[in-house]
């Protein structure tokens, strides 16, 4: 139907990493509608339900419209000046008495790039602490580790257009149908247009994505490394390896030292399909079939993965093994042939990985550990060279532990809800209670604002201008469409105010997001991650970096390959990797941190559904989505349900070594999930599923293993 609006404003969806282009219909200063942007390459006009129903979220009565301060145990409205003076006094006092590392910042892959950049500069460059981390540690840190160890630089080489060219899709640890619905639409379109397209879904849990799978691999949870090594074994054994590509573009390593191709082949003998069958529970013949599909010469293969691979103690290594398959077959940097990491949050790439707003990073994909990088950034920031400490700051789980044991005394939380979303969250409750907690939020109450000493009312999504960096190196501009309600302000303005009050005003002379962007652009010059200019981004419907010399509206569709990548003269060049060679890793097998036993006989996994976003603070405000899925549940395989005498709708208690949660049951269809595996949604703040999940982390990426822990199940 025709919608009566005053104007359509070009923006990007608030939710997932796909970064669908949207047009926001504004009428009388209010959002009247949201529709897909037909000129955006990412979604070509399509949106999923979460995107369409964004207008219902914006005006909800639980928006925070005034700053709140805790007085006599209760959060009460106050003026901005009162709130900011209190925050400033507490931070100053803590820095003076206990040093800069006694304060910290915890941000989000949903913040804008300018916000991430300024927060990073304020904490690392001005205050002088590397204690700034964010929720991408919970979702993408292992993908970062995979890209940087294999290719020497973060982020994917492929692009969304590769969907159109791939003949085989290998999707592992991703429920793309529900977590990235518009991309699933592209997949189904491709299959319709070209029925010979083969789709392999590898996941212990059968979910909606399996509906279009040609082959479903439901392996024992946590055994993916055995599957991926076995596929590499078959690829080499059956002559599908591209020897020329391997010789020219790759090297081999066991993670400690360089090894030869022959040594790698020897290592893989531990992973014959027959041996992998014993570990994964998948028939050897099926592993062979999948490896053959992946490796078939002349066909293009695209791999996709998300949290099933990343949220694991073997997260970085499993990422490496996916890259191995593409490097062995040379199916990389070609249309339709690419490893393609799907990003969970809209701007985990743009606002955190690229701005360097994690405790071990610096802007432009630089790292704290590198002295040259520290010097470059200190100079760009105009701070003394020794201001940026060579020690990485606290990663997320350590940071919240430090709030409990007193190392961190003041914490600023922005655009995230950690009192709900951390794993084994009850273990961190003491930290939330003890620390001086500042929460910049669009809504109140949330699980985290309940602990806050100060709540700062934040402008939401279309109420501010800024930039997101979405899943395929696509930088996109979000225009401001309406004013924020009451006294709410953009996070950027709040951070700049804090910087000023803390006495660092000279380092932050910015008046607009564009001013911030212009300084940030300089930090990306010469990094192979150059971004486009603000005017170009305002005009375009997304621009993919690298944009050499910040020129041009098109950007690099594919990376490491000529002519698309301006840094490559001809053919393929992994220019960020040592000796220009990407590394094929012989990583030792590593299973989950916790395995099932007699006492805790079921595996529990957790994840998203189509209708809701993370901790429900946003989609929970949307009546249409709440009607669709009003309650979280745990899904049981019908065979397990029958054995336990549990029916659909019963309430059960899930108990782990860390905590328990009572939750209604949904009995799945056969295979949903694999017998012995339970799948729980985790969006409700009470009861909290994260009381049960495990906070064991990957040794390298420090990403927690949300996807696997051992539980017992009791009927209530």
Question: 336 an active-site residue?
Answer: no
Q: Which does 47 bind (CB under 5 to 8 A by kind): ligand SF4, ligand MGD, none?
A: ligand SF4
- 475 contributes a contact to ligand MGD by CB under 6 A: no
How many Å apart are CA 61 and CA 250, to the nearest integer?
A: 56
- Residue 512: CB minimum distance to ligand SF4, A: 26
Write each residue from 593 to 632 as x if it is in contact with ligand MGD (CB under 6 A), else as -, in one continuous string.
Answer: -------------xx-----xxx-xx--------------
Using CA of residue 113, residue 556, residue 577, residue 260, what is the dihedral sign? Answer: positive
Task: Verify binding: residue 418, ligand MGD, rule CB under 6 A.
Answer: yes
Among residues 169, 174, 449, the alpha carbon closest in space to that of 306 is found at: 174
If one asks whether residue 414 binds ligand MGD (CB under 6 A), the answer comes out as yes
**CA dist., res. 539 & res. 295, Å (int):** 41
The DSSP code sequence of 317-350 is HHHHHHHHHHHHHT--SBTTBEEEEPPSSTTIII
Task: Give the tokens for residue 61.
Answer: 């009565």
Q: Which of 16, 48, 84, 307 is catalytic?
A: 307
Q: How far apart are the C-alpha atoms of 128 and 123, rounded to whole Å?
A: 6
Compute CA distances 550 → 10, 79, 529, 547, whole Å.
Answer: 22, 42, 10, 5
Q: 323 to 362, contacts with ligand MGD by CB under 6 A?
A: 344-345
How far is residue 20 from each of residues 50, 494, 513, 669, 714, measured CA to CA in Å?
A: 11, 27, 21, 32, 42
Specify the residue, 19 or 668, whose C-beta has the smaller distance to ligand SF4.
Answer: 19
Binding track over 154-193 against ligand SF4, x by CB under 6 A? --------------------------xxx-----------
**By CB under 6 A, residue 47 contacts ligand SF4:** yes
415 is catalytic: no
Rounded Cα gap, residues 26 and 702, in angstroms = 43
Helices (H), 339-476: 371-381, 396-405, 418-421, 429-434
Kindly tell me which of 138 and 388 has the beta carbon lying closer to ligand MGD.
138
377 neighbors 363 (Cβ within 8 angstroms): yes
Binding letters toward ligand MGD, positions 120-159, x by CB under 6 A: ---------------x--xx--------------------
Among 10, 50, 365, 473, binds ligand SF4 (CB under 6 A): 50
- Catalytic residue, chosen from 13, 140, 414, 462, is 140
Name which position in 319, 446, 471, 524 contacts ligand MGD (CB under 6 A).
446
Among 9, 24, 48, 103, binds ligand SF4 (CB under 6 A): 48
Q: Which whole-number Å values give the CA distances from 492 to 11, 131, 415, 480, in the listed order?
A: 18, 19, 12, 13
Exposure b/e, 44-61, CB count within 10 A at least 16 = b: bebbbebbbbbbbbbebe
What is the nearest approach in angstroms of ligand MGD to the Cβ of residue 48? 16
Is 51 among the residues that bind ligand SF4 (CB under 6 A)?
yes
**Residue 95 or 692: which CB sits closer to ligand MGD?**
692
345 classed as catalytic: yes
Active-site residue (options: 345, 476, 544, 632): 345
- Six-digit token string for 468: 């997101």
* Helices 513-524 & 371-381 angle (0-180, nearest 10): 150
- Residue 240 bears catalytic tag: no
Question: What percentage of the chain's residues is helix, strand, coil (to nearest 5)?
Answer: 35, 20, 45
Active site residue 618: no
Residue 50 known to be catalytic: yes
Active-site positions read 50, 139-140, 307, 344-345
Residues that bind ligand MGD (CB under 6 A): 108-110, 135, 138-139, 307, 344-345, 414-418, 420-421, 440-443, 446, 458, 460, 491, 606-607, 613-615, 617-618, 682, 689-690, 693, 706
Residues that bind ligand SF4 (CB under 6 A): 13, 15-16, 18-20, 43, 47-48, 50-51, 180-182
């Amino acid at each position: 139907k025709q919608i009566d609006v005053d104007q359509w404003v070009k923006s990007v969806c608030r939710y997932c990493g796909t970064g669908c282009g949207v047009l926001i219909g504004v009428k009388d200063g209010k959002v009247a509608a949201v529709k897909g942007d037909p000129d955006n390459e990412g979604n070509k006009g399509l949106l999923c339900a979460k995107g369409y129903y964004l207008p219902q979220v914006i005006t909800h009565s639980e928006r925070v419209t005034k700053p709140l301060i805790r007085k006599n145990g209760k959060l009460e409205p106050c003026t901005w000046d009162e709130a900011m003076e209190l925050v400033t006094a507490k931070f100053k006092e803590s820095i003076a008495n206990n040093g800069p590392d006694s304060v910290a910042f915890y941000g989000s892959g949903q913040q804008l790039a300018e916000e991430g950049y300024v927060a990073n500069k304020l904490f690392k460059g001005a205050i002088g602490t590397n204690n700034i981390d964010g929720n991408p540690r919970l979702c993408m840190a292992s993908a970062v580790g995979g890209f940087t160890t294999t290719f020497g630089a973060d982020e994917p080489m492929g692009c969304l257009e590769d969907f159109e060219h791939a003949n085989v899709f290998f999707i592992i640890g991703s429920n793309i149908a529900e977590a990235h619905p518009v991309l699933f639409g592209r997949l189904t379109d491709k299959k319709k247009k070209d029925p010979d397209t083969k789709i392999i879904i590898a996941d212990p849990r059968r979910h909606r994505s399996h509906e279009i799978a040609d082959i479903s691999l439901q392996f024992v949870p946590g055994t993916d490394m055995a599957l991926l090594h076995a596929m590499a074994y078959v690829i080499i054994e059956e002559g599908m390896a591209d020897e020329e590509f391997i010789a020219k573009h790759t090297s081999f390593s066991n993670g400690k030292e360089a090894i030869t191709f022959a040594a790698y082949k020897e290592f893989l003998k531990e992973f014959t399909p027959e041996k992998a069958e014993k570990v994964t529970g998948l028939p050897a013949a099926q592993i062979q079939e999948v490896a053959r599909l992946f490796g078939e010469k002349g066909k293009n293969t695209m791999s996709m993965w998300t949290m099933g691979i990343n949220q694991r103690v073997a997260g970085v290594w499993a990422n490496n093994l996916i890259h191995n398959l593409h490097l062995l077959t040379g199916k990389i940097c070609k249309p339709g042939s690419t490893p393609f990491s799907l990003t969970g949050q809209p701007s985990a790439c743009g606002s955190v990985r690229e701005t360097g707003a994690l405790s071990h990073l610096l802007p432009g994909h630089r790292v704290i550990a590198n002295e040259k990088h520290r010097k470059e950034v200190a100079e760009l920031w105009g701070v003394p060279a020794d201001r940026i400490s060579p020690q990485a700051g606290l990663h997320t789980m350590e940071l919240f532990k430090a709030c409990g044991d007193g190392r961190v005394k003041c914490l600023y939380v922005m655009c995230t809800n950690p009192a709900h979303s951390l794993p084994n969250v009850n273990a961190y409750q003491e930290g939330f209670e003890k620390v001086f907690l500042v929460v910049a939020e669009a809504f109140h109450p949330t699980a985290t604002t309940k602990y806050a000493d100060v709540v700062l009312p934040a402008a939401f999504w279309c109420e501010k201008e800024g930039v997101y960096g979405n899943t395929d190196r696509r930088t996109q501009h979000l225009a401001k469409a309406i004013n924020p309600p009451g006294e709410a302000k953009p996070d950027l303005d709040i951070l700049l105010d804090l910087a000023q009050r803390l006495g660092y005003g000279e380092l932050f002379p910015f008046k607009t997001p564009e001013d911030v962007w212009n300084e940030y652009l300089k930090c990306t010059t010469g990094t192979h991650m150059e971004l486009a200019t603000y005017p170009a981004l305002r005009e375009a419907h997304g621009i993919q970096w690298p944009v050499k010399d910040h020129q041009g509206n098109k950007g690099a569709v594919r990376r490491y390959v000529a002519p698309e990548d301006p840094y490559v003269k001809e053919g393929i060049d992994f220019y960020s990797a040592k000796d220009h060679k990407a590394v094929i890793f012989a990583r030792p097998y590593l299973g989950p941190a916790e395995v099932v036993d007699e006492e805790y006989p079921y595996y529990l996994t957790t994840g998203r559904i189509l209708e809701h976003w993370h901790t429900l603070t946003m989609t929970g405000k949307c009546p249409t989505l709440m009607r669709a899925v009003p309650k979280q549940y745990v899904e049981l395989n019908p065979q397990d349900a029958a054995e336990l005498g549990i029916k659909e709708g019963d309430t059960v208690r899930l108990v782990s070594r860390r905590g328990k949660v009572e939750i209604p049951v949904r009995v799945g269809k056969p295979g949903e999930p694999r017998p012995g595996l339970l799948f729980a949604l985790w969006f409700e703040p009470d009861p909290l599923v994260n009381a049960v999940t495990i906070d064991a982390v990957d040794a390298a990426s420090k990403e927690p293993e949300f996807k696997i822990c051992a539980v017992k199940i009791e009927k209530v």
